[in-house]
Amino acid sequence: MMAPERMQSYREMAKKVRAHCLRMTHRGKSGHVGSMLSMADLLAVLYLGILRVNPKQPRWPDRDRFVLSKGHGGAAVYAVLAETGFFPKEWLDTYYLDNGKLSGHISHHVPGVEFSTGSLGHGLPVAVGMALAARQAGKKHRVFCLLSDGDCNEGSTWEAIAFAAQHHFDNLTVIVDYNRVQALGKMEDVIEMEPFARKLEDFRWAVQEIDGHDYVQIETALNHLPFVPGKPSWLLARTTKGKGVSWMENTVACHYGAVNDEQLAKALKELEVEQ
């Protein structure tokens, strides 16, 4: 595929993911839509351009492992999995509902989902274990873990950070959806992580900081893994919480609030999605 076409496919996928998330959380009257919109572009590039996965064979042994540690954003992963053929798109209509196929937090009972999370700080240790096992077995697949800001408050995340560097797991990549907003406030008012990149460098990871909505930057970074041989890679992807819906962007409110009928229509219009 030519580069401009690929960029266009990323853009379209991200738009679809955002629209699905708005509709799903609207229908389910559920929260976390801001967290989903925030990582839609990252997921589009990952699933269309980076991850070696096979929708026809979700448990293919040589697949790249993708662990979503910010399980509350699971609907965005469900959306991209449905769009890439892991399960029927109709399942998305059952999200959060009685007898639904898809739970509010990401679940390994869904084809294509590697691991269930929901409580923060769980994804990275597990991803590190997967990287350990892959290296020990001489396997070539890679392990990716997507973290939220809140994930980086958890001590267990830092325990895993130290361990991964100690053992030079360069088959492991962390992507932080660095929107700087968490459940009750902005990071500067809750737990400031800056200088974030330097913290990780001091922990002996190889770090890159990018605009997490810029497809060229995302793709370029993830096409050059590991950033440094012998080190795990940390991609600090600066994002905007609620990205794509003007009144949600950069707000704390969009972490929990669901959209009503009127807001849904308005949001889809802003995203230029047909209704």
- Interaction site with Mg ion (CB under 5 A): 148-149, 179, 181-182
- Taking each continuous run of H as one helix and of E as one strand, the counts in the chain are 8, 7
Q: Burial code of 243-260, b = ≥16 C-beta within 10 A, e = fewer?
A: bbbeebbeebebbebbbe
| In the complex, least distance from residue 49 CB atom to another protein, rounded to whole angstroms | 25
Among 247, 250, 252, which residue's Cα sits nearest to residue 264? 247
The answer to whether residue 152 forms part of the interface with another protein (CB under 8 A) is no
Alpha-carbon distance 163 to 168, whole Å? 9
- Per DSSP, helices labelled H in 137-213 are 155-166, 196-202
Q: Which of 52, 108, 198, 224 binds another protein (CB under 8 A)?
A: 108
| In the complex, least distance from residue 160 CB atom to another protein, rounded to whole angstroms | 5
The answer to whether residue 110 forms part of the interface with another protein (CB under 8 A) is no
Judged by DSSP in three states, 253 sits in: helix
C-beta closer to Mg ion: residue 16 or 180: 180
Among 99, 103, 100, 125, which residue's Cα sits nearest to residue 113? 103
C-beta closer to another protein: residue 136 or 246: 136
What's the length of the chain? 275
The answer to whether residue 156 forms part of the interface with another protein (CB under 8 A) is yes
Q: Which of 100, 101, 159, 186 binds another protein (CB under 8 A)?
A: 159
Listed in sequence order, the residues at least 6 apart from 8 whose beta carbon sits closer than 8 Å to its beta carbon are none
The answer to whether residue 119 forms part of the interface with another protein (CB under 8 A) is yes
DSSP-derived letter for residue 69 is: S
Build a one-symbol-per-residue string for 166-185: x at contacts with another protein by CB under 8 A, - elsewhere.
-x------------------
User: First CA to last CA across the chain, in angstroms?
Assistant: 29
Alpha-carbon distance 247 to 242, whole Å? 8
Q: How many CB atoms lie within 10 A of CB 52?
A: 11
Residue 119 interacting entry, from another protein, Mg ion, none, C-beta within 5 to 8 Å by type: another protein
The answer to whether residue 213 forms part of the interface with another protein (CB under 8 A) is no
Total binding residues for another protein by CB under 8 A? 28
C-beta closer to Mg ion: residue 53 or 147: 147
The answer to whether residue 121 forms part of the interface with another protein (CB under 8 A) is yes
Q: How wide is the angle at C-alpha 40 spanned by C-alphas 181 and 125, nearest 5°?
A: 70
The answer to whether residue 165 forms part of the interface with another protein (CB under 8 A) is no
Q: Which of 3, 137, 184, 191 binds another protein (CB under 8 A)?
A: 137
| In the complex, least distance from residue 120 CB atom to another protein, rounded to whole angstroms | 10
Interacting residue ranges for another protein, rule: CB under 8 A: 108, 115-119, 121-122, 124-134, 136-137, 155-156, 159-160, 162-163, 167
